[in-house]
Structure 1
């Protein structure tokens, strides 16, 4: 199946192609080729074994501009989990060579605005660009319950929660506040993680902010029972944020697990590395570790005492095969 905005393919919109696509199987996935163009659509996928492949990561662009402070006709707010540009809500999906972007704007103005809501098992993103401001990438499932409201809202609220495995390979992920967050077991290999500068001169007056803190890269909500949470391997942490203004992460839930392995960290990373999000009790339960990292932001001399360095024998356990061995068999290395 081919999608092209000029009408030269089978469909003009990606959603139309998804709606007409048969669910694939483990032996034969349904392939949707997407030609370069800007597709302004709110994409919703809940069919397994689909393979979405764009013509190019820079030229095949899915974009929308929903946001948390937007309201439905009845006046109720969208909140975070209705704000996505694209929902990938099925098992065994592969997404390659495309950009998924939320164009709503800065979180100070619009609140959370997801580019990608990814909730399933055995999902792989390869050579993709995920771009937003606050809460760019949500790696489902949702935590057990909200901290402040009676429900999370959004299309996946109330569904059975299963912690899926996700692999982001050679991707570019851009945002500022908590822009990689959620409960999945997710591995990021050879990715560029770009921290946007939200402390700019054009910031509106009277916007509440901490002038010394530009953002947090991760906000994991790893279940206590999961042996791994977020694992970043050979990634580059870049950005235009001021020096010493970005944390590696803070715990959305108290058993957050994040590992940075053989990564390069720019000068925008804060010396202490990690933030407890005003939850001092989480310092005894999180697993925040680094190993073999380099660059001006990788100096561990002033890291918080409740983060750690992996010894060699433990670092050897952080391989894709071992991380993904939980659950049904998955051989993502053979995906093509």
Structure 2
């Protein structure tokens, strides 16, 4: 009888450890290229998340280079990605807009994306997202459609069109992130806040290309960020309007010498000068001098700056750090 009791205890203990992931951690699933996790591919872990689950699903991704074209469907909400380390947990793919699909058609900008995020309430920490195709035109690393998306301590690597906050009603928060590129490398319709991020300009071009809807009060907002790069001095614009009501603000940012004195470009759309909202507030650095800014950009007053709070920008949503989230 004692022997049977002992065996039962061992079985329960082993089952409990397995249910928390193969390494006995508190994550639901563990991905490891070495085979010592629950899956060797990230997409397999995503597919294993129950559709329309009402609780958070945490996925721990061990160090490795994962060359996968990922899709997080709209049925997979509250998914949490945690990388083992920022520099060594890399999700990469190499599609680009002019690359042909199996029918001989160009993939296009959206088709070039390495990771499509359609699910709501997605969070990622300590992960590098890369489009490795090189300087071949539009080549997206991540395209986001879902709402309430949070990236903390992540990297986005690419050239043209690196990061695509696409969803018109999507709210996205980037904290302590690194984003690099050349032309329009942060672009799209979404409301997105970048706080304490490094924006690295790899060549002459444009940091942003917002396409904010007229009725959307905020577009891209950069707070306490650093705009750096190895592009030639005075060769990068802060933004240009992909659509006529583009909204972009740089607040308390350090703007390096790569930024052009005029700051903003109209994309040869004279009418857009009347409709865009391109704003700055107390930026510093050699690229922040306002004397030669285009006349249709705006230096915020203190009262206007006070409207740029996370709660106001995100209409009540306050992002929560994954470090504070209790995983199962």
User: TM-score range with shorter-chain normalisation?
Assistant: 0.7 to 0.9
SS of 2:320's partner is helix
2:174 equivalent among 137, 148, 168: 168
Q: Distance in 2 between matches of 1:216 and 1:236?
A: 15
Q: List runs of 5+ in structure 1 lacking aligned partners.
A: 142-161, 198-213
Corresponding position of 2:149? 123
Q: Distance in 2 between matches of 1:170 and 1:290?
A: 20
Give TM-score, length-normalised by structure 1: 0.85
Q: Does 1:87 align with 2:116?
A: yes
Q: Does 1:248 align with 2:238?
A: yes
CA RMSD of aligned residues (A): 1.1
Q: List runs of 5+ in structure 2 lacking aligned partners.
A: 1-28
Which structure is larger by alpha-carbon Rg, 1 or 2? 2
8 Å Cα contact 2:152/2:321 also seen in 1: no
8 Å Cα contact 1:23/1:49 also seen in 2: no
Q: Deviations over 1:32-81 (max 9, x none)?
A: 00001000111111111100110111110001100011111221110100
Distance 1:167 1:223, change over 3 A: same
SS of 1:241's partner is coil
Q: Distance in 1 between matches of 2:51 and 2:306?
A: 37
Alignment of 1:22-171 (within 5 A): 22-23=50-51, 28-46=55-73, 47-106=76-135, 110-141=136-167, 162-171=168-177
Q: Distance in 2 between matches of 1:19 and 1:319?
A: 36
Q: Distance in 2 between matches of 1:189 and 1:99?
A: 17
Q: Distance in 1 between matches of 2:202 and 2:235?
A: 11
Q: Distance in 2 between matches of 1:19 and 1:186?
A: 27
Aligned-pair CA distance for 1:170: 0.6
Alignment of 1:298-317 (within 5 A): 298-317=288-307
SS of 1:332's partner is coil
Aligned-pair CA distance for 1:24: 6.5
Q: Does 1:16 align with 2:44?
A: yes
Aligned-pair CA distance for 1:23: 4.3
Q: Distance in 1 between matches of 2:101 and 2:211?
A: 28
Q: Distance in 2 between matches of 1:76 and 1:25?
A: 36
Q: Distance in 1 between matches of 2:318 and 2:309?
A: 13
Aligned-pair CA distance for 1:332: 1.2
Give TM-score, length-normalised by structure 2: 0.87
Hey, which of these two has a bigger chunk of helix by percent? 2
Alignment of 1:222-233 (within 5 A): 222-233=212-223
Q: Distance in 2 between matches of 1:173 and 1:272?
A: 23
Q: Distance in 2 between matches of 1:183 and 1:301?
A: 30
Aligned residues: 293
Q: Deviations over 1:254-284 (max 9, x none)?
A: 0000000000000000000000001010000
SS of 1:174's partner is strand
Q: Deviations over 1:178-229 (max 9, x none)?
A: 00000001000000000003xxxxxxxxxxxxxxxx1100000000000100
Aligned-pair CA distance for 1:314: 0.6
